[in-house]
Amino acid sequence: MNLIFLGAPGAGKGTQAEVVCEKYNIPAISTGNILREALKSGTEMGIKAKTFMDAGKLVPDEILIGIIKDRLNEDDCKNGFILDGFPRTIPQAEALDAMGVNIDKVIDIEVSDERIVLRMSGRRVCEKCGSSYHMQYKKPREEGVCNQCGGTLIQRKDDHPDTVKDRLSVYHEQTEPLKDFYLKQGKLCVVEGQEEVADTTKLVLDTVGSL
């Protein structure tokens, strides 16, 4: 069972990918993790990627795809895998097809921009111990103070509303067209993200279980 998980930043696709990964004992492969592993192991593609990363440039698609191809050839992918965060663009998806990688289904987790902004901008993290809170869903006992250690709760830059909106804009421009790409291939399965993570998880597991 070879799957791709799609969804806007903050839609929770990473969390859902991990659940499916554990249930079906297949690896969840994220672009960030692949790059870190390739750099650490010093593979040919990893070394090529490092030259771009050290220069502060994006890793070209052909190198990134080469790294993914190497990863998918490892033994733990024989029974299937989940790609989380790749492909991000139509050219990457076309390259994946050209590489001969068979994708069974693409799970798209749909959450409105408004809910994502609310969800992400409400996050707070303790600058001392790293405990996480949410101003709507998981409030601290005392505003701005960590329940665990009494440290100050801060909003990370990535969770600032303007940053979230910028990331969503990039997603809609570059990644959202993948939905039509995979719809035309008959592979797209849409899951409506729910208020409760557990409810979304049930829908995702039901969808995957029906494949």
- Residue range 121-145, pLDDT digits in tens: 999 999 999 999 999 889 999 999 9
**Cα–Cα distance, 45 to 72 (Å, whole number):** 14
Judge whether 123 counts as a catalytic residue. yes
* The one-letter amino acid at 35: L
**pLDDT bracket for residue 78 (50, 70, 90):** very high
Active-site entry in 78, 138, 139, 156: 156
User: Which residue of the set 13, 48, 71, 124 is catalytic?
Assistant: 13
Every domain of the chain and the residues it spans: 2-26+79-111+171-209
| Terminal CA-CA length for the chain | 9
Give the residues across from 106 on adjacent strands: 4, 188
Domain spanning 2-26+79-111+171-209 has what CATH number?
3.40.50.300
- Quick one: pLDDT at residue 39? 79
Judge if pTM exceeds 0.85: no
Instruction: Choose the catalytic residue: 50, 69, 88, 165.
Output: 88
CB-CB contact of 154 with 124 (8 Å): yes
Catalytic site includes residue 88: yes
Q: Is residue 156 flagged as an active site residue?
A: yes
pLDDT in tens, 168-211: 999 999 999 999 999 999 999 999 999 888 999 999 999 998 87
Rounded CA separation 104/101 (Å): 10
Please tell me which residue in 71, 119, 123, 124 is annotated as part of the active site: 123
> Among 115, 167, 187, 202, which one carries the catalytic annotation?
167
